[in-house]
Structure 1
Amino acid sequence: MKRNSNDLILKTMTSIIAFILLGFSVYLFFAGHNAPGGGFIGGLMTSAAIVLMNMAYGQSGMRNSLPINFRFLFKLGLLIALLTGMGSFLFGEPFLSQTFAYFQLPILGRTELATALLFDLGVYLTVIGVTMTIILSIADDRREEVTQ
């Protein structure tokens, strides 16, 4: 496939836009238990940034910069979400019960930490893993069709 001169513009803008998307996805992830957002939409925003990098740099370039096994990632996310939900059984609470407490952290000061954040982490990793597995599988199938 012949590359054209627009690749430089695409790659430059991808770096900027992916950075903004990743920053916004982190904000949405942490805002999720008190405001709109959470693991699902944060995972979708992260996936959008990764897809953009895949479009700009190609699948081999993306895999070199992000050597992540997305199938393992969604299994890890499911495990974290399941263990977080079952963790409430240890305290005699119903499945998926959540609690929170305030902690004094070195840089952040007094910060609220909730068990819902752990569940959101599982959802976040699961959404990224599933979304990227589906999109990259479709991209591989399309690439095989073009080469045949």
Structure 2
Amino acid sequence: MNTVIFRTIAPLIVSTMVVFSVYVCLRGHNEPGGGFIGGLIAASAIAVLGMASDSESARRALHFDPLSIAGFGVLLAGFSGLLSVFNGNPFMTSIWIYLDLGGSVVPFSTPLVFDIGVYCVVFGTIASIALALESGDEEER
């Protein structure tokens, strides 16, 4: 799909999908959503970007290799579980910190860190697969 209209509107579609994926990821522990669904939405955005241009420009837009992002997500998710061990609790026990920012209290927790790790794993894995499939299609042309 290489039309002028699609190439023109794709950056708007991609940016909207990425912002929505972050929103879904951050609200995921209290409402429907989470790291898995947010990562799928973000990977779909990269796939749309790859379809609009080519897989190499989509890889350049990421600035990092998608599998490196997935590896970072695995480390982040594992680290969120280890924090409770250092606190003297069983592995993967939730730890909550309430930050006072500008007159409002913002809760920060290890489940949120775990969800961000899952987001990175799903995004990196699916984006890597999608970009590999798109680049395979370009080699045949």
Q: Same fold (TM over 0.5)?
A: yes
For 1:102, the equivalent position in structure 2 comes to: 98
Structure 1's 101 and 87: CA in aligned 2 closer, same or farther, altered over 3 A?
Answer: closer
Taking the TM superposition and a 5 Å limit, the aligned residue runs for 1:56-135 are 56-106=52-102, 109-135=104-130
Q: Which runs of 4+ in 1 moved over 4 A?
A: none
* From 10, 18, 21, the counterpart of 1:14: 10
1:39 aligns to 2:44 (yes or no): no
1:35 counterpart SS class: coil
Deviation at 1:134, TM superposition (A): 1.5
Larger radius of gyration: 1
Provide the rounded CA distance (Å) in 2 between the counterparts of 1:60 and 1:91.
Answer: 44
Compute the TM-score of the two structures, normalised by the length of structure 1. 0.85
Q: Percent identity?
A: 34
Unmatched runs of 5 consecutive residues or more in structure 1: none
Deviation at 1:113, TM superposition (A): 1.2
Quick one: higher RCO (CA 8 Å, sep 6+), 1 or 2? 2
Provide the rounded CA distance (Å) in 1 between the counterparts of 2:120 and 2:56.
Answer: 22
Compute the TM-score of the two structures, normalised by the length of structure 2. 0.89
On the 8 A contact 2:50/2:131 being kept in 1, the answer is no
Question: Could you tell me which amino acid in structure 2 is paired with residue 35 of structure 1?
Answer: E
Unmatched runs of 5 consecutive residues or more in structure 2: none
Deviation at 1:36, TM superposition (A): 0.8
Provide the rounded CA distance (Å) in 2 between the counterparts of 1:73 and 1:121.
Answer: 11
Provide the rounded CA distance (Å) in 2 between the counterparts of 1:72 and 1:63.
Answer: 12
Question: Could you tell me which amino acid in structure 2 is paired with residue 132 of structure 1?
Answer: A
1:103 counterpart SS class: strand
